C-alpha cells in the first residue's frame, strides 16, 4: 500500500510514502530520444544534449504520458489504483502455492492502515477465501482503525523503531505513544512478531534494546526480528529526485548484530536476524 504518516530516515521504500502514484526516473536507461519531452503537455521535461534530461517536479502533473512513450523503461510509474476485487484476482493466482507452503498474504506499505477501509476489506476477502493473513505495520493509526483490520489478521508484524518518544519523533516525524498503546491492546489470541529496523547510532544502544526486550516479554510476543540497516533503497531516492537522509550511516557488522540477538534472547525471547 502507498501512503505513510511516518518519514523514517532509513526508509527503504520511499516510493511508498506518498499516497499517490509517482514518477521514478532511471537515467542509466535513458537514450535521450526526446519522446518524453515531446509528450509532456505541461513542459516539465527538458532534454539538454550536454546535461541530459531534466524533470521539473513542481510542474509535473503526474499524467504519466511520458512513461507510456519511453522505449527503454527509463521512466516508470510507482503506484496503481486498484479495487479490492482486482487485487484479489492477483492473490488468487497463487492460492495453490499458499496452501502447499503454509503461507498466505501479507499486507505492507508504506503504512497499510493509512488506507484503512481498503485494507480491512482486502483482509476480509482473504479470510473469506480461507487464506492466512499478516499485517506489516508501524502501528501508527487510531485504535478503531487498527481493531477493524485485526478482525481479519492472523499475524501482526509490528515495527518498534525506538522506545524513547522524543528520539522516535526526531527520526520519524511522530512520537511512539500511540504505537506502544496500540501494541498493548492487541488481543492475546493474535500472533505478534516485533520487528526492529536496526540503525547504528540510533536504536542500537543497550538502554533502548533492554526496553525492547522488556516490552517483548511483557506482551508475550512470539518472535523478535532484527532487520539490520542497509542502503539498498538509496537508488530509489535518486529516482524520485529526493535527498537520501541517512547516507553516512553504515550497515551494522554481523558480530554486533549477533551480540544484540543474544542480548535480546536473554529476555526469554525467540530472536531471528533478517526474517
**Cα 222 to Cα 155: distance, rounded to the nearest angstrom:** 10
- Distance (Å, rounded) from C-alpha 167 to C-alpha 158? 18
CATH number at residue 105: 3.20.20.70
Give the chain's length. 275
All three cell numbers of 149, joined, read 483490520
My answer on whether 142 and 199 are in the same domain is yes
The per-residue pLDDT of the chain, averaged, comes to 95
Q: Is residue 195 part of a domain?
A: yes
168 and 213 both lie in a single domain = yes
When pLDDT is averaged across residues 154-171 and rounded to a whole number, the result is 97
Mean pLDDT of 143-158: 97
Same domain, yes or no: 96 and 169? yes
15 part of a folded domain: no
Q: What is the mean pLDDT of residues 10-39?
A: 95
CA 31 to chain centre: 32
Average pLDDT over residues 76-103: 93
Q: Does the pLDDT value for residue 130 go beyond 90?
A: yes
Q: Mark whether 33 and 161 lie in a shared domain.
A: no
For 221, the domain range is 85-273
Domain count of the fold of the chain: 2
Cell numbers at 107, concatenated: 499486507
Cell match 535521450: residue?
A: 32
Per-residue pLDDT at 29: 94
Mean pLDDT of 261-270: 98
Which of 37, 63, 78 is at the close of a domain?
A: 78
Residues 119, 195 within the same domain: yes
CATH number for the domain spanning 35: value is 3.30.70.20
- Asked whether the predicted pLDDT for residue 49 surpasses 90, the reply is no
- Same domain, yes or no, for 72 and 100? no
Integer-rounded Cα radius of gyration of the chain: 21
Is 254 among the domain residues? yes
pLDDT of the residue at 2: 97
Q: Tell me how far apart the alpha carbons of residues 202 and 233 are, in angstroms, rounded to a whole number.
A: 18
In the prediction, which pLDDT does 247 show? 83
The residue-averaged pLDDT of 210-237 equals: 96
Is the bond into 249 cis (omega within 30 degrees of 0)?
no
Q: Is the pLDDT of residue 161 over 90?
A: yes
pLDDT value of residue 248? 87
Residue 75 to residue 56: CA distance in whole angstroms? 14
Amino acid at each position: 500500500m502507498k501512503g505513510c504518516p511516518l518519514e523514517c530516515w532509513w526508509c527503504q521504500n520511499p516510493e511508498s510514502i506518498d499516497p499517490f502514484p509517482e514518477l521514478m526516473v532511471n537515467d542509466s536507461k535513458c537514450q535521450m530520444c526526446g519522446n518524453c519531452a515531446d509528450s509532456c503537455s505541461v513542459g516539465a521535461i527538458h532534454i539538454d544534449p550536454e546535461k541530459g534530461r531534466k524533470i521539473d517536479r513542481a510542474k509535473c502533473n503526474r499524467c504519466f504520458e511520458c512513461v507510456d512513450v519511453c522505449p527503454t523503461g527509463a521512466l516508470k510509474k510507482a503506484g496503481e489504483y486498484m479495487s479490492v476485487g482486482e487485487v484479489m484476482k492477483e492473490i488468487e493466482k497463487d492460492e495453490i502455492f499458499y496452501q502447499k507452503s503454509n503461507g498466505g498474504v501479507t499486507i505492507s506499505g508504506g503504512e497499510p492502515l493509512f488506507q484503512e477501509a481498503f485494507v480491512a476489506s482486502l483482509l476480509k476477502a482473504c479470510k473469506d477465501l480461507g487464506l492466512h493473513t499478516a499485517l506489516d505495520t508501524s502501528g501508527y493509526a487510531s485504535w478503531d482503525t487498527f481493531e477493524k483490520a485485526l478482525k481479519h489478521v492472523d499475524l501482526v508484524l509490528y515495527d518498534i523503531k525506538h522506545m524513547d518518544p522524543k528520539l522516535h519523533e526526531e527520526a520519524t516525524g511522530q512520537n511512539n505513544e500511540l504505537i506502544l498503546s496500540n501494541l498493548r491492546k492487541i488481543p492475546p489470541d493474535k500472533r505478534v512478531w516485533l520487528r526492529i529496523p536496526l540503525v547504528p547510532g540510533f536504536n542500537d544502544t543497550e538502554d533502548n534494546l533492554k526496553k525492547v526486550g522488556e516490552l517483548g516479554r511483557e506482551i508475550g510476543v512470539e518472535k523478535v526480528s532484527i532487520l539490520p540497516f542497509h542502503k539498498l533503497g538509496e537508488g530509489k531516492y535518486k529516482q524520485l529526485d529526493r535527498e537520501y537522509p541517512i547516507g553516512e550511516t553504515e550497515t551494522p557488522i554481523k558480530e554486533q548484530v549477533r551480540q544484540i540477538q543474544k542480548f535480546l534472547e536473554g529476555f526469554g525471547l525467540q530472536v531471528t536476524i533478517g526474517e
